[in-house]
A and B are shown apart, each in its own frame.
Chain A
Amino acid sequence: MSKYDSKYLEEKLKRELQTEYVSVTDESDGCGGKFSAVIVSPAFSGKTLLQKHRLVNSTLAEELKEIHAFSQKSYTPEEWEKVKAQ
């Protein structure tokens, strides 16, 4: 059981990464141990996939100590437009 929930994580990502869109889903039946996230932010511009993931990991470094599994898909706004168009 972790003390973090989807809303908290969304708000932190939005604040720290100035996201244009963020959606965090609790996939652990509410116990806060397993989340998946879709994150859209200009902060990802020019970054490789690994760099994007590292940026998110460092933003949530404290929380990830308690979260068992965190899954993410991180896009620049341009990439997100393409994804949505598919």
Chain B
Amino acid sequence: MNRICQSLRHPRYQILATTAPQSLLTRFLAADAATGAAVDKATMDKLVRTNKVVVFMKGNPQAPRCGFSNAVVQIMRMHGVQYDAHDVLQNESLRQGVKDYTDWPTIPQVFINGEFVGGCDILLQMHQSGDLIEELKKAGIISELLKAEEAKQQDDKAK
């Protein structure tokens, strides 16, 4: 436990999943501290469900460290989505763990309701086609863009 507590102070272990259960964090850190191996499937199963929407990215939402991660952040902002973000640059085990988990080669990666949705490309296409609004609705999230559209329709009817 002392080793784990010491590890908690190391910048590598800063995680932006503010709502993650403490027991999950402890287990997650233990797995990494003990072996340096990729984060295992059981831990990933929990990580992708700490919120309705979970994003594994480079950097954090306030300071994305690559254009593709930034694009995902901007899309989430447009839709008004609250989500957990994990900075894989802070943890190589997590970076490899999420790629192994999804069998997807790149970062960022987006999960909705625990299901892998895709990377930047897919999220952008879903945003452009309107599919993202539907996926968020299935997760019980009403997109700000949908609210704006419905408000506009109400205004049009009132004319």
> B-contacting residues of A (Cβ < 8 Å)?
49-50, 53-54, 57, 64, 69-73
> A-contacting residues of B (Cβ < 8 Å)?
68, 103-106, 116-122, 125-126, 131
Q: How far is the CA of A73 from the CA of B121 in the complex (A)?
A: 8
Could you list some 22 contacts between A and B, CB below 8 A? A49-B118, A49-B125, A49-B126, A50-B116, A50-B117, A50-B118, A50-B122, A53-B118, A53-B119, A53-B121, A53-B122, A54-B103, A54-B104, A57-B104, A57-B105, A64-B105, A69-B106, A70-B106, A71-B120, A71-B121, A73-B121, A73-B125
B106 CB, nearest partner CB in chain A, Å: 8
Residues in chain A near residue B68, CB distance under 8 A = 69
Residues in chain B near residue A70, CB distance under 8 A = 106
Residues in chain B near residue A64, CB distance under 8 A = 105
Q: How far is the CA of A71 from the CA of B103 in the complex (A)?
A: 17
Residues in chain B near residue A53, CB distance under 8 A = 118-119, 121-122
A72 CB, nearest partner CB in chain B, Å: 6
Residues in chain A near residue B131, CB distance under 8 A = 49
B97 CB, nearest partner CB in chain A, Å: 19
* With A53-B121, A69-B68 already in contact, 6 other A-B pairs whose C-beta atoms are closer than 8 Å: A49-B122, A49-B126, A49-B131, A50-B116, A69-B106, A71-B120
Residues in chain B near residue A50, CB distance under 8 A = 116-118, 122
Q: How far is the CA of A4 from the CA of B120 in the complex (A)?
A: 23
Residues in chain B near residue A73, CB distance under 8 A = 121, 125
Residues in chain A near residue B117, CB distance under 8 A = 50
Q: Does A72 contact B121, Cβ atoms closer than 8 Å?
A: yes
Q: Which residue of B lies closest to A50 (CB)?
A: B118
Nearest first, the 10 closest Cβ-Cβ pairs linking A and B are: A50-B118, A49-B122, A71-B121, A64-B105, A72-B121, A53-B122, A50-B122, A49-B125, A53-B118, A57-B105
